Amino acid sequence: MTSPAAPTAPPTAHALPVADPPATRRAALGLVRRDGRAFALMLVLNALAAGAGLAGPWLLGRIVDTVRDGGGVAAVDRLALVILVCAVAQLLLARQARYVGHRFGERAAARIRERYVDRALALPAAVVERAGTGDLTARGTTDVTSVGRTLRDAAPEVSVAAVQALFLLGAVVVAGPLLGLCALGLLGGLLAVRWYLRRAHRAYLAEGAATSELAELLAATATGARTVEALGLQERRWAAGERAIAECRRTRLRTLFLRSVLLPAVDVAHVLPVAGVLLAGGALMGSGGVSLGAVLAAALYLRQLSEPLDTILLWMEQLQSSGAAFARVEGLGTVPRDREAAAGAGPVPAGDRVEVRAVHYAYPTGGDGPAGEEADRGAGDVLHGVTLTVRPGERLALVGPSGAGKSTLGRLLAGIEAPRRGSVTVGGVPVAGLDPEVLRRHVVLVTQEHHVFLGSVRDNLRLAAPGAGDGELRAALAAVGADWAGELPAGLDTELGPGGHRLDGARSQQLALARVVLADPHTVILDEATALLDPRTARHTERALAAVLAGRTVIAVAHRLHTAHDADRVAVMEAGRLAELGTHDELVANGGAYAALWRSWHGERP
């Protein structure tokens, strides 16, 4: 789907990668091999249809020569009947070839969609967060649709046209070798096509990237509409939107310019060979070099050649656009996975002890951490040599000022990020090396960010425990204080999301906490998990959740220090380092950083 010489546009700082042309070609060939029998049948049928189509002009030339030589009506009728039979055969063969081709395209498109979903779900969470949802959404919708449409429609049409073009060129040479030289007039069109191909792939990649940037901007603006309004950022977001739209317009005008050069050049290239055959044929007929029938057949073949070439040109833009789209879709397969172990294989944690040893960590851009937590620190580390052991069944609170590294440490403990140096292990096994399914049976991270999926309350809860019964689902909701669930119009069958029942932030977060209860891991990391609840509801939810999590390891990242008061131990983070570690009473008595935070929490002056 791509030109061999087409360069790959460099991705932006956090954009998901784009597959290079060799990788894209290998992926396309892999799709062909998966359904090789159907693809071969499509080519054979196309070849037979093209062969049947060659008979018409040749037989028409024979009719002209027969009439010129004084042949009778019977001879002409026989040749006309053969023309009719060949035309019907060509129609039926071409129809069957397109049918087989469309079925091949639909199967290949389905495989691309399934593989895209598998790869998207397997992407490391940190990669998705840094890239943003706009790029991923654009690839999963616009790009996948473009590739599917090409495989379904363009591939059969272009394969038919390519076979027809080759056969017609061969027929011109057979009709008259000297007349076949006139087909060299097509070289002008080929030069225009080569010029186009050298530029189109990069241009369409740039167009796709601009579309993704615009989608990301619109999604972020719509999601944060209230924040934009509250902070008076409308003009800034409007300006950013105009810049994104201008970039989309610029990239689309570039592809339009390429087409405006290609199409007229090729149209001229279609006419020149026909004119050349007529002029050269007239001269050769005078010397007896060719017959009138041969000249007529060659001219008709070259005239017919415009139809398959026009078909190829018609789809060339789609092929280049979908080639760039396919490279973007396949780019997900080039994202390095942070876990190589297959499900059910690899190391299995021996016990529940969580250990952090001399951990250093820096975000790829130096401080591009979770929203609201890590400030931009340039190129330096966010964590500096943190060492910590969390005993099985312990309740540990991570506290500290904003930007201290609490959420980053929580993400490392949950296996979302891998340390730059040092190790984070559970049961003696590196957390980042565990398969996601194995990891989530041991460690679960719950943040202040939450999501309500389209579907019923039951569907949302069973994401964590597919086999759970209604009694277990209700018990999980009750455990986190979600008493409102019993008041829903259809109970557990109530549809949530747009078009259904909308949950506010507090109830959405309780739903997320109920999923944790159902997942039943031995270690739960709560990163401001009750931040959106009012103090009374948050306190009630935390107590209910604490009762359910009795005997499990709980690591709570919180600004509300009552969480630390209830914990077995408190770890105080400052500037990416572990400043203090001990019980609440010990740290208050020591008069250090934690004591200052505690006095500030209670409104006492230092």
What does the pLDDT look like over 145-173, one tens digit per residue?
Answer: 888 777 777 766 777 777 777 777 777 77
17 conformational bin, left if phi > 0, alpha if psi -120 to 50, beta if neither: beta
Split at pLDDT 50, 70, 90, the class of 378 is very low
Within 10 angstroms of residue 576's Cβ, the number of other Cβ atoms is 25
User: What phi and psi values does residue 444 have, to the nearest 5 degrees?
Assistant: -130, 135
pLDDT in tens, 431-450: 877 877 777 778 888 776 67
Give the separation between CA 389 and CA 581, rounded to whole angstroms: 11
Domains annotated on the chain, with CATH:
21-334 (1.20.1560.10), 354-601 (3.40.50.300)
Give the separation between CA 182 and CA 119, rounded to whole angstroms: 51
pLDDT, position 6: 38
Closest to 400 (Cα-Cα) out of 378, 418, 375: 375
pLDDT at 131 over 50: yes
In this prediction, residues 409-423 reach a mean pLDDT of 86
Instruction: Report which of residues 70 and 5 the model is more confident about.
Output: 70
**Distant-in-sequence, close-in-space partners of 87: CB < 8 Å, separation ≥ 6:** 52, 53, 56
CA atoms within 13 A on the CB side of 90: 16
Structure tokens at 260: 């405006």
Q: Are strands 443-447 and 523-527 parallel, antiparallel or unpaired?
A: parallel
Closest to 328 (Cα-Cα) out of 211, 157, 156, 153: 211
pLDDT at 143 over 80: yes
pLDDT in tens, 275-322: 667 666 666 666 666 767 777 777 777 777 777 777 777 676 667 777
pLDDT at 542 over 60: yes
Structure tokens at 565: 């008061």
pLDDT at 371 over 50: no
Closest to 204 (Cα-Cα) out of 263, 253, 155, 150: 253
* DSSP state for residue 493 in the 8-state scheme: G
pLDDT, position 520: 82
Within 10 angstroms of residue 487's Cβ, the number of other Cβ atoms is 8
Cα–Cα distance list, 161 to 165, 201, 265 (Å): 6, 22, 19
Give the separation between CA 398 and CA 569, rounded to whole angstroms: 9
Q: Is 561 helix (H, G, I), strand (E, B) or coil?
A: coil
Q: Is 380 helix (H, G, I), strand (E, B) or coil?
A: coil
pLDDT in tens, 548-569: 677 788 888 876 777 788 788 9
pLDDT, position 256: 86
Instruction: Report which of residues 204 and 72 the model is more confident about.
Output: 204
At 548, the amino acid letter reads: V
Mean pLDDT of all residues in the chain? 77
Split at pLDDT 50, 70, 90, the class of 2 is very low
User: What phi and psi values does residue 456 have, to the nearest 5 degrees?
Assistant: -80, 170
In this prediction, residues 121-127 reach a mean pLDDT of 74
Q: Which residues pair with 383 in a beta bridge?
A: 361
* DSSP state for residue 394 in the 8-state scheme: -
Give the separation between CA 181 and CA 6, rounded to whole angstroms: 31
Helix H, strand E, coil C: the string for 280-302 is HHHHHHHCCCCCHHHHHHHHHHH
Q: Identify the helix (H) or strand (E) that includes residue 397.
A: strand 395-399
pLDDT at 7 over 50: no
Give the separation between CA 428 and CA 423, rounded to whole angstroms: 10
pLDDT, position 276: 65
Cα–Cα distance list, 78 to 87, 301, 394, 439 (Å): 14, 21, 96, 78
Give the separation between CA 309 and CA 315, rounded to whole angstroms: 10
Split at pLDDT 50, 70, 90, the class of 368 is very low
DSSP string, 410-468: HHHHTTSS--SEEEEEETTEEGGGS-HHHHHTTEEEEES-----SEEHHHHHHTT-TT-
pLDDT in tens, 66-122: 776 677 778 777 888 888 888 888 889 888 888 888 888 888 888 888 888 888 877
Q: CA angle 117-119-125, nearest 5°?
A: 105
Structure tokens at 87: 């035309």
Give the separation between CA 586 and CA 594, rounded to whole angstroms: 10
In this prediction, residues 191-203 reach a mean pLDDT of 79
